[in-house]
Chain A
Amino acid sequence: MTPGGLGHGVSRRLLLASAGLSLALLATVVWAVVKEARVEWRVWQGRYAALESAELATGSAEDGSRGLQQFWLPDLDRVDRCTSCHLGIADPGRMDAPQPFRTHPGRWLETHRPDRYGCTSCHGGQGEATSYRGAAHRPVPYWPEPMASRELMEARCGTCHKERRPRGTDWLARGRALMVDRNCTACHEVPGHDAAEVRSPRLDGLPIKVGPAWVRGWLKKPKGYLPKSRMGDFRLAERDVEALAAFVLPPRGKLALDAVELSKADTEKGGEVFRRSRCVTCHEINGRGGTLAPALTHVGAKASREWLYSWIRGPHRFQPKTLMPRFRLTDEEARDLAAYLSYEFGDTPEGFEGSDAPPSPALAGEGRSIFEKRGCYSCHELEGFPTLARIAPKLLAIGDRVLEPAPLVARGTLPTLPNWLFTKVSGPEQVLESARMPTFGFAEDEAAAVTVALLSLRARETPPARTTRDPVRPPYEPQGEFGALVRRYRCLSCHTIGGSGHVTSTGLPLSTVALDRIGSQLTRDHLERFIGQPYGVRVALPERMPHLNIAPEEARVLAGYLSTVMVDDALEGAVPSDAATVARGKELFDRHGCAGCHIVGNSGGYVGPDLNGGGARLKPGWTVAWLLEPERWKRGTLEPDRGLTKPEAEALAAYALSLPARKAKAVGR
């Protein structure tokens, strides 16, 4: 195409322009092609091919492009293209490969196969993307589900695993337990938490228990009296406190205190009763002891001695749902104990020294409306009020909620939903000054755990075929004489039977001894002795069963029932007791170093129970089963699973059961 061919008038300038533009066009086309050929996933696949061919050492110059890889999961509505770059993720031989080719850590892919779950179900991120940035490895704008950190991944576990304590999760299990413990479901409708978890005291009996000074102090700041109080701080104004006090303090109902002659009380004897009964198993004093029940550090400043006496003699009259057992104490013992508590723990805590003048009755109406508005009756039952006050938003899809970023930005916090929930749970007033939600005073890790539990509540319903739940079990309500004893002594405050029983804020019952099959685990005689006179089986544990002073006939009834009913046929069985087996068992005992944790004779470790006299305590079938699969019977136990064969376990059991008892009393301090 010569200039002449184009005829006159096509100037040199125009021809130069045409040459320049044509080159520019060629450049942009080449640029586009190169850009596409160098797109991120292709580059990674090329590198992986190079890695493979370097290993094969054949140097075969294969193209190495396998094409886009994806998992399409229609029921989860996910398309995950992660394996386009993460090519070695399911290849066990790539543990030392550089990222992104490394094998997936742990054994997760055995239970969560990528072709069934994809990747983003657990990790979050944008599965459709094929670039590092697009996949939201770090948060990107406009993709609301960034890849989750390890802790936040537990929230994602929770979208399918609806159990209270999913395996392998720390934060999620803890958070769900805390949500039960703090009774979030009283005000918020929480999927998976029914309303039957209320455990705050009824207020009917309040007027005969406490005085105005205490009520004022408590309403202003519950943690001033109980550092580990489950009740949050409602951030009440002075006048509201007064009004509420005016509402709750006037006498109501028919409850009355028992008459008692306090002048004869002996505080020293009371102290003995206190120590003997091991009240600290549940009640902490000055920060030491159990947290199942309120701390007694200042109980003398709260309740009168008459009240304490009445309570100890019969707690269930005042609080039918209380966890506290009715100890078998004589009236004198109860009197002495009440006097001891009042004397020893009578210091008034800070913030409770205010006036004891009764509040003005005129404020009672105002107090009542505050009582309603703040939903007090949702936790504290009171005659004439409904049982639930769902005054707060449903938590149904809280994990997908849109947040108002301004309060977080003002505090310099990254305005993500997890941070918002964390800030709100830590202190609702930080997010909205006029919030009605109380400040629960969570520790940082507790608030974080609750946040994880909240984040597992998502809008998109997981298909039922993909969810796991706790088995639904009807609550266990024992009947007859046994039932009456269980109710009197509140066995289910610490132990569980059939899944029923109180769970603490850690999500576990206070005692790790479930009673479901206790009759197959321990001998009847031992049960009877122990129930009548409990002692520390595992010396290292701080918790041990309190001394309820159960009468011998009662212990007999309890032990008899447990031994007859709470059995597991699979655990019945004998072990040979011939000398050869016992000797073999001893050899195994030494070989496996069991004395490191168990005391035999006069030496051994303080981790597991003392094995002296084990034959009188343990049943053979159970011992074998325990040795074979300890983790199955008690998740998280310190007893290791040594992969014993059945004969080995039987020999070990034979040895353990053959050990003679140590002298006289059981070890206990």
Chain B
Amino acid sequence: MSNRVVRSIFRVGWPRTRQQRLRAMLSSLVLHVHPTRVRVHVLRPSYTLGLGLVSFYLFLILTVTGLALMLYYVPHPAAAYRSMKDIEYAVTFGMFLRNAHRWAAHGMVAVVFLHMCRVFFTGSYKPPRELNWVVGVVLLLLTLALSFTGYLLPWDQLAFWAITVGTAIVAYFPVLGPQVRYLLLGGHEIGQAALLRFYVLHCLILPLAMAFLVALHFWRVRKDGGLSAPPDRLHRRVPAWPHLVFREVLVLIAVLVLVHAAALLFDAPLEEIADATRTPNPAKAPWYFLGLQELVGYGAIFGGVVVPTALVLALLVLPYLDTHPRGVGVWFAPERRVANAVFAVVAVAVVAVTIVGTFFRGPNWAWVWPW
């Protein structure tokens, strides 16, 4: 009897024969995103570093912890801060949930960035993978947007002024900037309307968009012929079960361990309640926008509009400009020296200005030495 129940759920039992292994991939909703066989080349951790997978897992962790937090958090300025205190002090595992959510979020921004670098350096954006690269860029922007919208929700001084700075930079955009800012904030000030909009964006609109695009991203990986590999490694394959699935489970465990450890060791910050009349000096954007804020320091339009727009546009059109199929599937292929060098310089520059904005800027955005 129980055998029948089990069989009705798991059509293909625990795979033992080769045929079962192949069919297992096709018979499960979760597993059928995998191909039945994968290239050996892509299984090596040194090739992909598992970064895309880690991003996805972080997204899942964020969703789960986020849902739990939604049971306690109240998105109204008069109640938000206190609900954060309740989560921190009164809810069982509250602080753990909050920490996990915050560190996973910061981690996801960093990992998504690194994943993009990996894809570039292995030339995995070239045809037929152009659309997937574009989807990926959009996913990067969505990640930043999710992190940014979530940043406001604690409604403390850190949140309030970070979003003040961020939305001010948005307003620098010619013509549309102020309108977009007004739309985001539901007004001219950051208040009840802004908090509610950010909450809906953060918990509903953006996660749905992200889920859809992630699904598209995975689907396109399959349709584009799997993860990229150099021409001489295209054909050696092994069954996805167990080789791919096992490694994926390992990565999941590793991500969980790291997120748990971070959540247990480091507490997410919570400053005083937001006070529109008291500006901290300096008021800093979230860390991933500090590079932007540093550039704005050199020139509002230049730093806040021209450079980021140019970078995003460059990323979006990249696969349509560089279509030569050489150097795909290997890190730092010598044929792609120039392209790699340019990207590396830009990536390092982005990291550098972010570091400068984080550690080397003090009150009035003056230069300080952090020691």
Chain A residues near B (Cβ < 8 Å): 5-7, 9-10, 14, 17-18, 21-22, 24-25, 28-29, 31-32, 35-36, 68, 70, 79, 81, 126, 128-131, 134, 141-144, 402
Check if A36 sits within 8 Å of B253, measured CB to CB.
no
Shortest A245–chain B CB gap in Å is 43
Q: Report Cα–Cα, A513/B88, bound state, in Å.
A: 57
Identity of the chain B residue whose Cβ is nearest the Cβ of A1 in the assembled complex: B14
Check if B242 sits within 8 Å of A7, measured CB to CB.
yes
**In residues 260-306 of chain B, which contact A (Cβ within 8 Å)?**
260-261, 263-264, 270-272, 278
Check if B272 sits within 8 Å of A142, measured CB to CB.
yes
**In residues 139-158 of chain B, which contact A (Cβ within 8 Å)?**
156-157
Among A22, A81, A141, the residue within 8 A (CB) of B253 is A22
Q: Report Cα–Cα, A128/B89, bound state, in Å.
A: 7
Q: Which candidate, B191-199, B243-251, B319-327, is the interface stretch facing chain A? A: B243-251
A21-B257, A29-B260 known; A128-B90 Cβ under 8 A: yes
Among A10, A32, A128, the residue within 8 A (CB) of B246 is A10
A129: chain B residues within 8 A (beta carbon): 85, 88-89
Check if B82 sits within 8 Å of A128, measured CB to CB.
yes
Check if A36 sits within 8 Å of B93, measured CB to CB.
yes
B4 within 8 A of A: no
Identity of the chain B residue whose Cβ is nearest the Cβ of A134 in the assembled complex: B89
Check if A28 sits within 8 Å of B261, measured CB to CB.
yes
A18-B250, A35-B264, A144-B272 known; A24-B257 Cβ under 8 A: yes
Check if B86 sits within 8 Å of A18, measured CB to CB.
no
Closest A-B pairs by Cβ, 7 of them: A28-B260, A128-B85, A6-B242, A21-B253, A130-B89, A142-B271, A24-B257
B254 within 8 A of A: yes
Identity of the chain A residue whose Cβ is nearest the Cβ of B43 in the assembled complex: A9
A7-B21, A128-B90 known; A79-B82 Cβ under 8 A: yes
A32: chain B residues within 8 A (beta carbon): 93, 96, 260, 263-264
Check if A131 sits within 8 Å of B89, measured CB to CB.
yes
Among A6, A81, A402, the residue within 8 A (CB) of B89 is A81
Tally of A-B residue pairs with Cβ under 8 A? 83
Check if B238 sits within 8 Å of A9, measured CB to CB.
yes
B278: chain A residues within 8 A (beta carbon): 402
| 12 A–B contacts from the bound complex (CB under 8 Å) | A7-B21, A9-B243, A21-B254, A24-B257, A25-B257, A28-B261, A32-B96, A36-B92, A130-B89, A142-B157, A142-B270, A142-B271
A81: chain B residues within 8 A (beta carbon): 89-90
B16 within 8 A of A: yes
A5: chain B residues within 8 A (beta carbon): 14, 16
Shortest A302–chain B CB gap in Å is 49
Among B86, B238, B264, the residue within 8 A (CB) of A128 is B86
Check if A36 sits within 8 Å of B96, measured CB to CB.
yes
B239: chain A residues within 8 A (beta carbon): 7
Identity of the chain B residue whose Cβ is nearest the Cβ of A129 in the assembled complex: B89
A22: chain B residues within 8 A (beta carbon): 253
B16: chain A residues within 8 A (beta carbon): 5
B241 within 8 A of A: yes
B256 within 8 A of A: yes
A28: chain B residues within 8 A (beta carbon): 256-257, 260-261, 264
A6: chain B residues within 8 A (beta carbon): 242, 246
Check if A17 sits within 8 Å of B89, measured CB to CB.
no
B92: chain A residues within 8 A (beta carbon): 36
Shortest A614–chain B CB gap in Å is 64
B157: chain A residues within 8 A (beta carbon): 142
Q: Report Cα–Cα, A17/B271, bound state, in Å.
A: 40
B263: chain A residues within 8 A (beta carbon): 32
Shortest B23–chain A CB gap in Å is 14
Shortest A65–chain B CB gap in Å is 12
Check if A14 sits within 8 Å of B260, measured CB to CB.
no
Q: Report Cα–Cα, A143/B85, bound state, in Å.
A: 11
Shortest A72–chain B CB gap in Å is 11
